[in-house]
Amino acid sequence: MKKIIFVCLLLSGSSLFLSAQTLENRILSYTNRCIFTADINGDGYLDLVSGGLYNLQWHKNTGNGVFRNYLITANYADIRAVHACDLDEDGDMDILVSSFTNNRVLWMRNNGNQIFDEVILTSTAGGTEYLDVADIDNDGDLDILGAAFNSDIVYLLTNDGNENFAQTTIATGLDGAISVKAADLDNDGDMDVAAAAFNNNTIVWIENTGSGAFVTHTLSSSINGPVSLQVSDLDNDNDADLIYTSNGGYGWFTNSPGGLGQIVLSSYAIREICIVDLNNDSHKDIVLADYNEDDIIWSQNNGYQNFGYGGIIDFSVDYASMIVSGDFNNDGFTDIISGGSYDIKIHLNNASQTFTTAQVDRALYTALASCAGDFDNDGDTDIMGGGYLNLNFIRNDGNGLFTTSKVLPSNISMAIIDMHAADLDGDGDTDVVFSADAYGFPGLNWIENQGGGTFERRIIYGLADAEAIYPVDFDFDGDMDVVASSMDGSYVYWFENNGDEVFTQHLISGNYWYPMDVCAFDYDQDGLMDVVAAYSGNSDKIVIHRNTGSGFTNWAINSSAPGANSVAVIDMDLDGDLDCLSSSFEDNKIAWYENPNFTQHIITTSAIGATHVDAGDFDGDG
């Protein structure tokens, strides 16, 4: 039997993802907060792990610094820390995760095929901001350290060798504990701990006495808002130094026989720091993430721990706050991966310390709309996605790898609501029409595809409180017009294209409240384009506006569709005429309406919070 399969998006943020438990590619992500690098799949290439808001992914390095993104879980609202290690010593990389809002530390146990089983190690982690791993008790297995921001402590999860963990507090009074690092700071052969407390401006080292006891020593209580700690032998004298960033600047504590002495490098606020020899001169340089200016900066070590300006690696990492390093393309030079609230980027280090930058991940914050089309004319289907602050082009390379680039500058209020692909200017490539409701984006817009993955924004019409938009040759004159709705007065219009992308407004209806979505089709095959609309609020109807040639008549095919918000047109029963689909979120219903009488057939009443519906032969069975 032939059949049509429908798709219903149940969440208001329409990011597209499939579970990495089946090794499917995640195209769009939510906001990122933390990153860590390790060879997750054991193929000899450094991969990446990232976490954030409803977002835990691993990014597979395909061998040349190009990454394929896999979702591990979207179940945790706010992941603040990730760390990869072989916790159970079975030969593959596991992932440790801090879930901030429910005070959990999770062990994502790798079964060997990058399918991860979740194990809760503690549910009393006190809002953990950072995790580190080391053999703290010298028994040959890995223990876990946590900095608990909400409970103002540093704690230790001690491994008994069989991955059973006992939680103990090793330091208290650290108001807003935000970072923790393990290192042998006193050169006595056991692992000590360094920690930073954001709220009381303190950095401490916590001495491991070797007998299971810990003694806290204050290094400074006057560093304004310390944020990050790193451990490295910065001066190449064979001991562990401690590097910090803060709201009051960045610097380091040099380790010497007399103890740890502070050296301030700058009073400029820096969010994150990475210690790495970028130019292969055997001296460790500094790479900085400048949150305020969106910059990734290289500060070059002259060999005497004097750090000069090496250059800007990237000046457009939105809210830069994360850095990791590694040789991601195995060319012998250390590369950088940086991240911020919306971006994860890789910066491949060339032999001359110039950097080639590519996007690893790009979050569509408050993502609300997407559409598909061959935007680069290479024969495969790409994606365009839009949200409140972003409009992104997600290019498909034909092998299931997607790279993201900005269509418009980021962090500009767009408030994109609806989006569709169409060749609006008739030049043979796929453009995009979208509705938006923010200053500077007047209602109805289109993105002109200029070829080669470049785009320019154009204005269709300055429609106030624009909601839905739908491209169609409404008057059958050979060019693409637009049907759209406005919440300002609750009107539905069509906009006539004169052939040169100049549009004239025509009223279809103003008889119903809150037109949430519109589609156009010649339902009665009389050569005139009709419109179906979903009306919500006080109306709660699905209405066909029949085109008479001199105006429109109204036909409510469903007068009880509470929370109606989406419509689509397709030949559901394959009888040669177009039927309608609708979704309504208050009754959790998906329904289709059979042409010619548009008899309602309920598909489901359990589509909880349904906000969008569409249909197609997704399984290719005809």
Residue 439 has pLDDT above 80, yes or no: no
Q: Is the pTM of this model over 0.85?
A: no
226 shares a domain with 132: yes
Cα-flanking dihedrals φ and ψ of residue 410, to 5°? -80, 170
* Shared domain check, 386 and 473: yes
Among candidate residues 421, 503, 517, 424, the one with its CA nearest the CA of residue 460: 503
Instruction: Compute the average pLDDT of residues 386-413.
Output: 77
**pLDDT band with cut points at 50, 70 and 90 for residue 27:** low
The domain boundary residue, chosen from 463, 479, 510: 510
Candidate ranges 68-77, 346-355, 384-393, 483-492; pick with highest mean pLDDT: 483-492
> Could you tell me if 155 and 251 lie in one domain?
yes
The residue-averaged pLDDT of 113-124 equals: 94
- In percent, the amount of the chain with pLDDT more than 70 equals 93
The closest alpha carbon to 533, from 487, 498, 465, belongs to 487
Q: Among 337, 363, 389, which residue terminates a domain?
A: 363
In the beta sheet, which residues pair with residue 395?
A: 403
CA 447 – CA 467 distance, rounded (Å) = 17
In sequence order, the 6+-apart residues with CB closer than 8 A to the CB of 82 are 34, 35, 36, 49, 50, 51, 56, 95, 96, 97, 98, 131
Please give the pLDDT value at position 402.
Answer: 80
Residue 120 lies in a domain: no
- Measured CA to CA, the distance from residue 459 to residue 540 in angstroms comes to 31
- Identity (one letter) of the amino acid at 59? H
Domain assignment present for residue 95? The answer is: no
Cα dihedral 236, 239, 240, 246 sign: negative
- Mean pLDDT (whole number) for 523-528: 95
Pair (203, 220) in one structural domain: yes
Same domain for 263 and 149 = yes
pLDDT surpassing 80 at residue 17: no
Are the CB atoms for 155 and 162 separated by under 8 Å?
Answer: no
Looking at residue 414, its pLDDT comes to 73
Q: What pLDDT sits at residue 257?
A: 85
Last residue of a domain, one of 331, 363, 395: 363
Position 16 scores a pLDDT of 28
pLDDT tens per residue, range 174-210: 999 999 999 999 999 999 999 999 999 999 999 999 8
In a domain? residue 118: no
The lowest-confidence range among 177-181, 441-445, 558-562, 605-609 is 441-445
The whole-angstrom separation of Cα 242 and Cα 228 is: 10
Average pLDDT over residues 517-526: 96
Average pLDDT over residues 47-65: 92
Cα within 13 Å of Cα(247), Cβ side? 10
Asked if residue 189 is part of any domain, the answer here is: yes
* Of residues 140 and 452, more confidently modeled: 140
CA neighbor of 501 nearest in space, from 473, 480, 478:
480
- Give the number of other Cβ atoms within 10 Å of residue 190's Cβ: 16
- Into how many domains does the chain fold? 4
Same domain, 153 and 256: yes
| pLDDT band with cut points at 50, 70 and 90 for residue 529 | very high
pLDDT score for 8: 38
CB 58 within 8 A of CB 21: no
Other beta carbons less than 10 A from residue 273's beta carbon: 23
Based on the fold, state whether residues 494 and 434 are members of the same structural domain: yes
Q: What is the pLDDT of residues 535-550, one digit of tens each?
A: 999 899 999 999 999 9
CATH number of the domain where residue 395 is located:
2.120.10.10
Task: Give the pLDDT of residue 29.
Answer: 60
Confidence of residue 86 (pLDDT cuts 50, 70, 90): very high
Peptide bond before 515: cis, by omega within 30 degrees of 0? no
- Report the pLDDT averaged over residues 587-594: 96
Give the model's pLDDT for residue 269. Answer: 95
CB 322 within 8 A of CB 289: yes
The answer for residues whose C-beta is within 8 angstroms of residue 427's C-beta and 6 or more apart is none
Distance CA 366, CA 385 (A): 11
What would the pLDDT profile of 299-322 be if each residue is shown by its tens digit? 999 999 999 998 999 998 989 999
Q: What is the pLDDT of residue 411?
A: 56
Question: CA nearest 131: which of 80, 165, 171?
Answer: 80
* Domain around 465: 366-510
257-264 contacts at long range (C-beta below 8 A, 24 or more positions apart): 260/185, 260/205, 260/219, 262/219, 262/220, 263/305
386 and 345 in a common domain: no
pLDDT at residue 55 in the model: 86
| Furthest CA-CA distance within the chain | 93
3-state SS track over 41-91: CCCCCCEEEEEECCEEEEEEECCCCCEEEEEEECCCCCEEEEEEECCCCCC
CATH number at residue 181: 2.120.10.30
What span, in angstroms and rounded, lies between the C-alpha atoms of 389 and 444?
16
**Residue 536 counted as domain residue:** yes
pLDDT band at residue 440 using 50, 70 and 90 as cut-offs: low
pLDDT in tens, 66-80: 898 888 988 898 999
Q: Are residues 312 and 378 in the same domain?
A: no
Higher pLDDT: 441 or 294? It is 294
* Nearest of 61, 56, 68, 57 to residue 46 by alpha carbon: 61
Shared domain for 498 and 610, answered yes or no, is no
Same domain, 201 and 253: yes
Is residue 443 a part of any domain in this protein?
yes
211 and 339 inside one domain: no
Strand order across the 165-171 sheet: 128-134, 143-148, 153-159, 165-171
In a domain? residue 38: no
